Amino acid sequence: MSDHPRSTAGGTRTRVAPRPEVVRTAKDYKGEVKPVWCPGCGDFGVLSAVTKALAALQVKPYEVVIVSGIGCSSRMPYFMSTYGLHGVHGRAIPLASGLKLSRPDLTVFAMGGDGDLMSIGAGHLPHVAARNIDITCVMMDNQVYGLTKGQGSPTSPMGHLSKSTPYGMIAKPAKPVLLALTYGATFVARGYSAQPNELSELIVEAVQHKGFSFIQVQSPCTEFYNTYDQYDSLVTDLPEDWDRSDLRAAIDLALTEDKVHLGVFFEEERPVYEIEARKFEEEVQPFDLTSYLRRFA
């Protein structure tokens, strides 16, 4: 797949006008550490899309935190100039939740792969979606465990042959978009790493959305499960007149298996946890131990 268009520079199709004083470009969000991904890895496209999105948003790098789990894709924070927290396997969402809850002023991403977010850490997704914590979760789905060299993952198709499934994967693949929709995520989208400009637009929208955003990114692994040809033929944009407030229609579409739809499936406004949890903000008092202890007298 060496002839495939990879993430390239450019692509400033965005709705956000740059602020006049300091104009940051995508490059300003890239870090000193060079990515260690394999040539052609879909995650390059995601890195490009994220940095482009941040440039479009003109957010200050030191006000952004990329939180990740473990896996190839979870190396993302090292390759950026923002703050980052490279956690343990499966815990990107709760790490990011604690940060965003305590520091709602920050722009917080939770990033990881399909192993991280659909397997070992899958139990966190329903809860962060239900709470509607304002973080942007980007799941780089390569349908394989890349860092551990090629075992089958929860999104590998039935019959998938890998070193850990030598006779074919027996389990049905998880449908991340469908799960996010049914869990109550208030922004659900799907992108494709080979279309970084479109993906960066999705990320801009996700960051601007108030509440929990989930983006599944088809991000192929050239080394262990190269699906570029497959996705090039399967991906299609959502219909022009797609009504993103229609949850049932979104669920129907997420069930589709003959096409892979790209775009924003669903978006709704719902109270945000960290704002609701601050309903006493007006009357916050400093802690006074003596008066606190009076109740025990």
Partner 1 sequence: MQARSHKDSQVRNDFVIRIGGDTAIGGVISTGENFTTAAARLGFQVFTFRSYPAEIKGGHAWFQVRISNRPVLSTGDGVDILVAFDQEAYERHCGELREGSVIIYDSDLVQVDDGRFIRYGVPFQRIARQELNFARGTNVLVLGLMAGLFGLPLDCLQDLVRLRYKRRAELVEKNLEALAYGFDYTKKIRKEDKYYLGTSDHVSRLIMSGNDAIVAGALYAGCRFFAGYPITPASDILESMARELPRLGGICLQAEDEMAAIASCIGASYGGTKAMTATSGPGFSLMIELLGLASMTELPLVLVDAQRSGPSTGMPTKLEQADLFQALYGGHGDFPRIVLAPASVEDCLYRAVHAFNLAEKYQMPVIVLSDQSLSHRTQTIDMPNLSRLPVVNRLQPGDGASEEYARYALSDTGVSPVALPGVHVHTYVAPGLEHDERGHPNQSPQVHEAMTEKRFLKLSSAAADTDSPDWAPRYGHPKAQVGVIGWGASEGAIREAVERATAKGYKVAALHPRILNPLPQAQIREFAASVKRVLVPEVNYQGQFAHHLAASLGISPVRFNKIGGLPFTPAEILGKIEEVASHV
For binding to partner 1 (CB under 8 A), which residues are involved?
32-33, 61-65, 67, 70, 77-78, 81-88, 90-91, 93-103, 105-106, 123-124, 126-127, 274, 277-281, 283-287, 289-290, 292-293, 296-297
Question: In whole angstroms, what is the distance from residue 118 CA to residue 116 CA?
Answer: 6
Contact call for residues 54 and 29 (beta carbons, < 8 A): yes
- Label residue 193 exposed, middle or buried (CB < 10 Å: 0-12, 13-18, 19+): buried
Q: Which is nearer to partner 1, 32 or 257 (CB)?
A: 32
CB closer to partner 1, 71 vs 191? 71
CB of 274 to partner 1, least distance (A): 7
Hey, what are 98's tokens? Answer: 């604690």
Question: How many helices and strands, by DSSP H and E, does the chain display?
Answer: 10, 10
Taking the alpha carbons at both ends of the chain, their separation in whole angstroms is 74
Question: Which of 50/189 has CB closer to partner 1?
Answer: 50
Question: Least Å distance between CB 238 and partner 1?
Answer: 31
- Which CB sits closer to partner 1, 61 or 150? 61
In the complex, minimum distance from the CB of residue 285 to partner 1, in angstroms, rounded to a whole number: 7
How far apart are CB 241 and partner 1 at their closest, in Å?
38
CB nearer to partner 1: pick between 241 and 281: 281
Angle at 238 between CA 113 and CA 139, to 5 degrees: 10
Report residue 228 as tokens.
């570029």
Amino acid at 35: P
Mention every residue, 6+ apart, whose C-beta is less than 8 A from residue 126: 179, 183, 184
For the bound state, the minimum distance from the C-beta of residue 41 to partner 1, rounded and expressed in Å, comes to 17
How far is the C-alpha of 158 from the C-alpha of 85, rounded, in Å? 34
Minimum distance of partner 1 from residue 265's CB (angstroms):
24
Closest contact distance (angstroms) between CB of 44 and partner 1 is 18
101 or 234: CB nearest partner 1: 101
Phi and psi angles of residue 150, each rounded to the nearest 5 degrees, phi first:
105, 15
Cα angle 129, 131, 135; round to 5: 65
Amino acid letter, 271? P
> Which C-beta is closer to partner 1: that of 167 or that of 296?
296
